[in-house]
Amino acid sequence: MRFSGVMLIAALLLSYSSTFASDDFIAPEIFLQSVFPQEEPETATVWLTGEKQEIATDILGHKPDSLRLRYWYAGDKKAWIVDEIGKTEPITIGVVIEGNAIADIQVLAFRESRGWEIKHDFFTRQFQGIGLNGRRQLDGVIDGISGATLSVRAMNNVSRLVLYLSQSLDS
């Protein structure tokens, strides 16, 4: 009786946490303020046309949803906010690039009921210091999360895309 009661409570908590997680949201303005606390960043755009569109399509596995991506910058730091589909709904991902590596990555909005584990520090801190190798793959190992394959893939692909675009701007 006691055991079944514990199981019931655990099941309720798990179901509650899975639905609660999908409601977490960090406003993009708040994200940008945290990235650039001391200064007002400039903003610019990158047009995803021609070769850039081909490479972006190769990285994402589909044609980019928009023709240009916006970024905010101050000094050597750039912040990108990108939407990418996990399974069926878009995940809003904020990425900070310093030099040629990821300084920080955050899930700003997660709209699906599964895979929300990617928003936790234990997963996102793996991206810190990661750059791109010559094949436009991440140059470090990112351990996946069982049951969140598509969300993890979305994070990886967005990371690769913004690293590539940042490099293309610097060059």
Structure tokens at 156: 């990886």
Judged by beta carbon, residue 43 or residue 137, the one nearer other proteins is 43
Instruction: Kindly report the number of other CB atoms within 10 A of residue 61's CB atom.
Output: 10
Judged by beta carbon, residue 77 or residue 87, the one nearer other proteins is 87
> 85, 160, 155, 163: which is closest to 125 by C-alpha?
155
Residue bearing tokens 């436009």: 136
Contacting residue, 15, 17, 57, 66, with other proteins by CB under 8 A = 66
Q: Minimum Å distance from CB 88 to other proteins?
A: 6
Work out whether the CA dihedral 82, 85, 89, 95 comes out positive or negative.
negative
Judged by beta carbon, residue 68 or residue 120, the one nearer other proteins is 68
> 98, 90, 156: which is closest to 126 by C-alpha?
156
Q: Is 113 in the site for other proteins (CB under 8 A)?
A: no
Q: Minimum Å distance from CB 130 to other proteins?
A: 24
Largest CA distance in the chain: 67
Q: Is 45 in the site for other proteins (CB under 8 A)?
A: yes
Q: Is 81 in the site for other proteins (CB under 8 A)?
A: yes
Contacting residue, 24, 58, 65, 170, with other proteins by CB under 8 A = 65
Q: Is 13 in the site for other proteins (CB under 8 A)?
A: no
Identify residues 20-39 at the interface with other proteins (CB under 8 A): 27-29, 31-32
The DSSP-derived string for 25-70 is: B--HHHHHHHHSSSSPPEEEEEE--HHHHHHHHHHHSS--SSSEEE
- In the complex, which residues of this chain contact other proteins (CB under 8 A)? 27-29, 31-32, 43, 45, 65-70, 81, 85, 87-88, 90, 150
